[in-house]
Amino acid sequence: MTFLPEEGIQELHTLGFSNLEASIYLFLLLESPATGYKIAQALGKPVANTYKGISALQLKGAVLVEEGETRLCRAVPPDEMMGQMERDFQSRRKQVSQALAHLKSQPEDARVYTLSNWEQVMERTRQMIQSSRQVVLLSAFPQPLSEIHADLEQAVERGVGVLLKAYLPIEIKGAQVALSNESGLLLDHLPIQELSVVVDAEQYLLAMLDRHSRNVMQAIWSNSLLLSFSHYNSLYNEWELTALIRQIRADATSETLKGSLQRAYPLLQTPGYHKLIRSFQRKENP
């Protein structure tokens, strides 16, 4: 019986391969070409089940089967297989998105939801940025910031304001960046990474991420208008104060400082504020 790396089988599980399919594919990477009978003998599996696994792998685009009596099987190279699976996923993703777009969206609520893993935090952040209409406010440590850099630039290109508090020098074309005045201390000693985002005073996300891994220590998201309104004000004040302290240390003129105090995106002009006021009016006049 051929022994296959357990790690490879587990990784193929994440792509939707069954144990048998993963074993057949790994065997063929080592022993291509081979007949179904040879594969079954090497793996110690029933021949009928092995042929079913081969057929399933053909549908996945992971195995090629020779035409003719011998029906020799050959593994598709991993890079080629992954590229094909990615294109297939994107095609199916588009079809599903179009189908679901016709369904009635869920009503907004004021609940606070927990985000459990890094990918979920980053994808929610991207969706928030992509949905922005007026302004994105954020405070972000280098690693999470690197993963949304392109999304922020695309938001600027759409005419959305981006106000960023960063912890290392960074250029995001069109964004207003304030570099933390404590970045050295925080990056050297703080065991976590921060990601704090609020969009249009309509929704916000707070995440504390592990410094040395992609683990989430705690993360929450909400489209509560009240909480988003409050978080917008707090984050804007933090960004503004950070910029002012840096200007004062650089001996900026009083005119420059006064100009910095003129908010480009006042709280009372945000979409979230107007939506919040309308919600109060509906409650007063049902």
Give per-residue pLDDT as tens, 158-171. 999 999 999 999 99
Q: What is the pLDDT, as a whole number, of residue 205?
A: 96
* Calpha distance 46→166 (Å, rounded): 59
227 and 127 in a single domain? The answer is yes
49 and 132 in a single domain? The answer is no
Angle, helices 225-249/271-284, rounded to nearest 10 degrees: 150
> Domain with 164 in it: what CATH number?
3.30.870.10
* Calpha distance 236→176 (Å, rounded): 12
With a cut of 70, say whether residue 96 has pLDDT above it: yes
157 and 30 in a single domain? The answer is no
226 and 144 in a single domain? The answer is yes
Q: What is the pLDDT, as a whole number, of residue 58?
A: 87
137 and 265 in a single domain? The answer is yes
Number of domains present in the structure of the chain: 2
Greater model confidence, 124 or 265: 124
Chain centroid offset of residue 196 CA: 14
261 domain-assigned: yes
Q: What is the pLDDT, as a whole number, of residue 42?
A: 87
Q: Are strands 113-114 and 63-65 parallel, antiparallel or unpaired?
A: unpaired
174 and 224 in a single domain? The answer is yes
262 and 145 in a single domain? The answer is yes
pTM above 0.85, yes or no: no
With a cut of 70, say whether residue 203 has pLDDT above it: yes
Domain residues for the domain of 65 are 6-83
Chain centroid offset of residue 17 CA: 24
C-beta of residue 208 within 8 angstroms of C-beta of residue 194: yes
> Domain with 58 in it: what CATH number?
1.10.10.10
136 domain-assigned: yes
130 and 27 in a single domain? The answer is no
Q: Domain end: 83, 105, 136, which one? A: 83
13 and 65 in a single domain? The answer is yes
Q: What is the pLDDT, as a whole number, of residue 159?
A: 94
Q: Domain end: 45, 67, 83, which one? A: 83
Q: Considering only CA atoms, which of 159, 120, 169, 115 is closest in space to residue 136?
A: 159
Give mean pLDDT, residues 162-189.
90
